[in-house]
């Protein structure tokens, strides 16, 4: 408890040991599990649910010591990243050539959409109040990669959330930037194959709440690149556009600077606390500053482009300094 809202998206990770990380949302239901570290299809946990309820101020976990997706193992240190949408109440969005079942958060900044592909070049309505700057799509009824559109890389590029691979060039997004109402889908197994079902998570830049973009590293291990978001990040996910891991840091595991505990969406490995003194970053009142611990390769390589998704703790226009 203590979230301050009813979550509709809950991603859970074990910190102190390797563990396949379960991801739930209230559109698919609390017994339906996906994992970002693998291409596997959606898994039905009806018999032994890892997340038994989305509560009004949190969530309830089960599976004390069993299963690959344990959410409540004895002595396990855990972290959960939670997002609000519409309390599990969905509606049909028929703005695109494919209809979606959808819920959108009250600010119009985040949506969860489920749909069936048809194997063509199509569009889906994202339901947001502005064009999304990051879109993450996963096939539910079969094994396929997690496809990512990032504004910072452009509509002709795509990456896989479950992979270290560089951003590739293919018509995953039909080479078209999302509009104020639509996301464009290519004829790809990952986003729009016939007889396949999908879920799409869309994020739109929102003042004081969400920012997704790109930056270029300066290679300085003591005075790294500063990235302006306009708010204090609570969650930060970064990927170099060339081959490299995705990395997540947050203000729950590191409530004070420096921020140095990191988990990888594409790996089930335990948390890296960078006890060697590298990869220490700072969350500031209006953005984040990189790599003051000296390891520039993963966050701040000179001349390298990185894409990021930053979320504030609450959708307030102004954030306080740390």
Q: Which of 70, 66, 30 is nearest to 51 (CA)?
A: 30
Q: What is the pTM of this model?
A: 0.95
Q: Over 70: is that where the pLDDT of 247 sits? A: yes
pLDDT (0 to 100) of residue 207: 95
| Measured distance CA(271)–CA(263) in Å, rounded | 5
| Measured distance CA(162)–CA(239) in Å, rounded | 12
Burial call 2-41: b when 16+ CB within 10 Å, e when fewer: eeeebbbbbbbbbbeeebbbbbbbbbbbbbbbbbbbebbb
Angle at the Cα of 247 (from 237 to 53), degrees rounded to 5?
70
Place of tokens 């270029």: 216
Band of the pLDDT at 296, cuts 50, 70, 90?
confident
pLDDT (0 to 100) of residue 75: 87
Of the chain, the percentage scoring pLDDT greater than 90 comes to 81
Average pLDDT of 193-215?
Answer: 97
pLDDT (0 to 100) of residue 147: 98
pLDDT (0 to 100) of residue 297: 84
Band of the pLDDT at 47, cuts 50, 70, 90?
confident
Write the burial class of residue 142 (CB in 10 Å: 0-12 exposed, 13-18 middle, 19+ buried).
Answer: middle
Q: Work out the mean pLDDT of the chain and round it to a whole number.
A: 92
Place of tokens 């988990």: 263
Q: Which of 276, 251, 147 is nearest to 199 (CA)?
A: 147
Q: Over 70: is that where the pLDDT of 96 sits? A: yes
pLDDT (0 to 100) of residue 320: 41
pLDDT (0 to 100) of residue 128: 98
Reported as a single tens digit per residue, the pLDDT across 267-294 is: 999 998 776 666 789 999 999 999 776 6
Band of the pLDDT at 64, cuts 50, 70, 90?
low
Reported as a single tens digit per residue, the pLDDT across 117-176 is: 999 999 999 999 999 999 999 999 999 999 999 999 999 999 999 999 999 999 999 999
pLDDT (0 to 100) of residue 319: 40
Band of the pLDDT at 74, cuts 50, 70, 90?
confident
Band of the pLDDT at 66, cuts 50, 70, 90?
low
pLDDT (0 to 100) of residue 38: 94
């Amino acid at each position: 408890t203590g979230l301050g809202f009813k979550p509709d998206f809950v991603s859970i990770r074990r910190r102190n040991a390797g563990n396949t990380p379960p991801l739930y949302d209230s559109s698919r239901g609390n017994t339906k599990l996906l994992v970002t570290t693998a291409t596997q299809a959606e898994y039905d946990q009806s018999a032994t649910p890892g997340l038994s309820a989305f509560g009004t101020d949190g969530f309830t976990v089960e599976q004390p010591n069993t299963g690959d997706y344990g959410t409540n193992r004895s002595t396990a240190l855990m972290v959960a990243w939670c997002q609000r949408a519409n309390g599990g109440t969905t509606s049909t969005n028929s703005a695109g050539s494919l209809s979606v079942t959808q819920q959108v958060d009250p600010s119009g900044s985040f949506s969860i959409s489920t749909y069936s592909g048809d194997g063509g070049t199509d569009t889906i309505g994202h339901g947001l109040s502005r064009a999304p700057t990051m879109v993450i799509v996963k096939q539910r009824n079969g094994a396929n990669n997690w496809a990512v559109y990032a504004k910072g890389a452009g509509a002709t590029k795509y990456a896989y959330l479950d992979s270290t691979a560089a951003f590739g060039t293919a018509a995953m997004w039909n080479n078209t930037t999302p509009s104020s109402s639509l996301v464009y889908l290519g004829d790809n197994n990952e986003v729009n194959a016939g007889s396949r079902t999908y879920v799409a998570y869309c994020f739109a830049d929102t003042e004081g709440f969400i920012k997704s973009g790109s930056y270029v590293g300066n290679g300085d291990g003591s005075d790294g690149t500063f990235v302006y978001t306009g708010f204090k990040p609570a969650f930060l996910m970064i990927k170099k556009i060339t081959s490299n891991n995705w990395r997540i840091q947050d203000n729950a595991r590191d409530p004070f600077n420096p921020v140095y505990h990191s988990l990888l969406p594409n790996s089930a490995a335990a948390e890296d606390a960078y006890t060697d003194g590298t990869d220490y970053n700072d969350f500031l009142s209006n953005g984040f500053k990189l790599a003051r611990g000296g390891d520039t390769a993963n966050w701040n390589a000179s001349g390298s482009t990185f894409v990021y998704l930053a979320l504030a703790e609450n959708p307030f226009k102004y954030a306080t300094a740390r």
